[in-house]
Chain A
């Protein structure tokens, strides 16, 4: 029996070690530089205390907590981290990330960064809204930036602060990073309506939550605007949801189903799930994909033949802006809104677009910025 327990113990320890390696506190490659900048400072402090206190820069620490999609989701977690990495290069801050494997990891990961005295904690995603607010209230000296969310978020009688919503008041140490992706989705919808051959286009999401549906409603409004302008009858199939952000096989099945119902352009708003749709389109040649969050012809280059365009949510620009504010001391809570105007959102080049369509899209962009064309109804 003793042998039994020792084997079991070894196995469990191995499991924990390996899962631990796989997930938390995977330091960014860039971090290897960061300790190097720190090291001289500490050496100077211990070896030569009499020496003039050199600048001994306090390295600003930035930590990103991902949602369940993980750091390599080729979506907002990855894009947000690109912003951190750019700040590491430009400002010499220290950048780290922690991946969340399940919902209960959110609070744990935030706490770990708090324990490490991180200056700015970037939480990625709507789903971290409550935990971020709770941590921000308990640690007013730490700065937070949350992607796709803003405070106050407690509305109505049923909202319970700290449970169903984060905070009833604006938090001075949290910057909400939000995006008017419907503006960019509108452009993509317009382009899709112009490019469809079957007269049907489709879009699906991971979950029915605002940061997902805003893409979809913008897309639909764009198609309708095209119809109104050109007198066409391009149809958007009803919105559908996979219920997860992981299963690429679902992405494939959804794409197949849309093609069966006659659609030839599909916009998946479900992180890596959309890559399954792209694989289906590439294999069958029966559809084109509108990427979301970042330019899929770059981030998923293996599918670039079937990427019509991408709706860009430049989370990196927003995160970079937040870090910049911390570095130059101008950080204050509130709201950052990414728009077509400030480059927070945008649209990638449309594959196979005629010069006419390109010109129309440019004009439309200008019209949306000037307010001549209203995206929301």
Chain B
């Protein structure tokens, strides 16, 4: 954390806090996941997806108890080291903590059983995609100073338009394009209201959400449900395995055997990161979001920047909407986005308004999503309702500022008046 370096006392305190947390978690692992198991138990992780990879590698067999002893020791040793010396990078600490704990939990949960680790990871990446696209929409709008909570509604519109276009044209790429354009159109409505007429941004966003749910449900029940084959059966974009790379064990099926929308999302994260932080355009965007008056004085067209960025954000949301229909099930059903747009906003905050941070936190939400399915199959004994809550609890913990402070752009949500 940057600001802690200035003050050695706070530095010291966070160091000790981290050390204690690591040791406590290590002890928890020891008591909950190691002592409760028996000596002979074995955990089996499936490392092949049943898709017929060229190279199959043997499943990972881990002796449950010794593995968790080792993981607990790693945590405790790391904690002790942190207390004595201190590790500079917070992200290393978070990574060690999260990896060891989750791994120990999985090894414990799957004792005497087997489950597909690769399957879980690959579905995490897929499930993170709509969340990530919603988060990117939020990032670029809010960086330019416009709060857009209408992402959910935008995605619903785009999802519906893409399935209709896909079914009527029989071309899923056109459907994808239509979704992106729809996203831009809906976002421009929001932009028009909040920039031109300075309508309260939360109200306008809420209106977009209500409008999205209402209009798409109306169209769905009036037209789509009665004409499934002519309007609501687009098929899905096929998964595209990248040659060679998809043959790599574990990583291949997780990262390189996905639908185009998943690849596109990863690409967009990288592009947006570069554009936002390394180009004049990105600098202007951020200036408009932090201090529009200063930007205006220097000759940046604040309104234009805001319009364009909100519309680009809408395009991301549009692509996210397409994920639900042409990217996943090939049909539209009422309110099928099921709150992913809102979780995307949480991912944006979790990711501190940066594209890479937003994507990483989307992956965490996606992981929680697919983990809970596996835990139910493994019969862990935690009520499913509780597992379904997990992503939201994580969001709330993040919002309280425990994991670093997330600061919004200074002029976020404020209309600019010359």
Report the stretch among B135-143, B176-184, B301-309, B373-381 that lies at the interface: B373-381
Pull 26 A–B residue pairs with CB atoms less than 8 Å apart, ordered by A. Answer: A4-B199, A7-B193, A7-B197, A7-B199, A11-B204, A15-B207, A19-B218, A237-B377, A238-B378, A241-B385, A243-B384, A249-B127, A249-B328, A250-B338, A253-B373, A257-B123, A258-B377, A260-B50, A260-B116, A261-B119, A272-B334, A275-B333, A279-B236, A283-B238, A302-B228, A302-B331
Report the stretch among B14-22, B209-217, B292-300 that lies at the interface: B209-217
Chain A nearest Cβ from B147, distance in angstroms: 16
Chain A nearest Cβ from B150, distance in angstroms: 11
**How distant is the Cα of A239 from the Cα of B378 in the complex, in angstroms?**
10
Knowing A257-B377, A286-B50, the reply to whether A246 touches B333 (Cβ < 8 A) is yes
The residues of B that contact A257 with a CB separation of less than 8 Å are 119-120, 123, 370, 373-374, 377
Select A247's contact among B193, B229, B338, B370, beta carbons within 8 Å. B338
User: Is A22 among interface residues, defined by CB-CB distance under 8 A?
Assistant: yes
Interface size grouping (class) on chain B: 35 or more
**How distant is the Cα of A11 from the Cα of B207 in the complex, in angstroms?**
8
**How distant is the Cα of A244 from the Cα of B336 in the complex, in angstroms?**
10
User: Is A112 among interface residues, defined by CB-CB distance under 8 A?
Assistant: no
What 0/1 readout, one digit per residue, does chain A (211-245) give for beta carbons within 8 Å of chain B? Answer: 00000000000000000000000000111110110
A249 contacts B377, C-beta separation under 8 Å: no
Chain A nearest Cβ from B386, distance in angstroms: 10
**How distant is the Cα of A99 from the Cα of B218 in the complex, in angstroms?**
11
Chain A nearest Cβ from B112, distance in angstroms: 14
User: Is A308 among interface residues, defined by CB-CB distance under 8 A?
Assistant: no
User: Is A256 among interface residues, defined by CB-CB distance under 8 A?
Assistant: yes
User: Is B369 among interface residues, defined by CB-CB distance under 8 A?
Assistant: yes
**How distant is the Cα of A18 from the Cα of B204 in the complex, in angstroms?**
16
B333 contacts A253, C-beta separation under 8 Å: no
A23 contacts B217, C-beta separation under 8 Å: yes
A4 contacts B377, C-beta separation under 8 Å: no
Chain B nearest Cβ from A373, distance in angstroms: 28
The residues of B that contact A286 with a CB separation of less than 8 Å are 50
The residues of A that contact B377 with a CB separation of less than 8 Å are 237-238, 240, 257-258, 261
Of chain B, the residue at the smallest CB distance from A11 is: B207
Contacts A19-B214, A253-B126 known; 16 new A-B pairs at CB < 8 A:
A4-B198, A7-B197, A8-B203, A11-B204, A19-B218, A22-B213, A70-B217, A240-B384, A243-B384, A247-B337, A250-B338, A254-B373, A257-B120, A257-B373, A261-B115, A261-B377
B335 contacts A243, C-beta separation under 8 Å: no
Chain B nearest Cβ from A297, distance in angstroms: 13
The residues of B that contact A12 with a CB separation of less than 8 Å are 207
User: Is B365 among interface residues, defined by CB-CB distance under 8 A?
Assistant: no
User: Is B329 among interface residues, defined by CB-CB distance under 8 A?
Assistant: yes
**How distant is the Cα of A272 from the Cα of B228 in the complex, in angstroms?**
14
B329 contacts A276, C-beta separation under 8 Å: yes
User: Is A294 among interface residues, defined by CB-CB distance under 8 A?
Assistant: no
User: Is A208 among interface residues, defined by CB-CB distance under 8 A?
Assistant: yes
A8 contacts B49, C-beta separation under 8 Å: no
A256 contacts B119, C-beta separation under 8 Å: yes
User: Is B4 among interface residues, defined by CB-CB distance under 8 A?
Assistant: no
A260 contacts B46, C-beta separation under 8 Å: yes
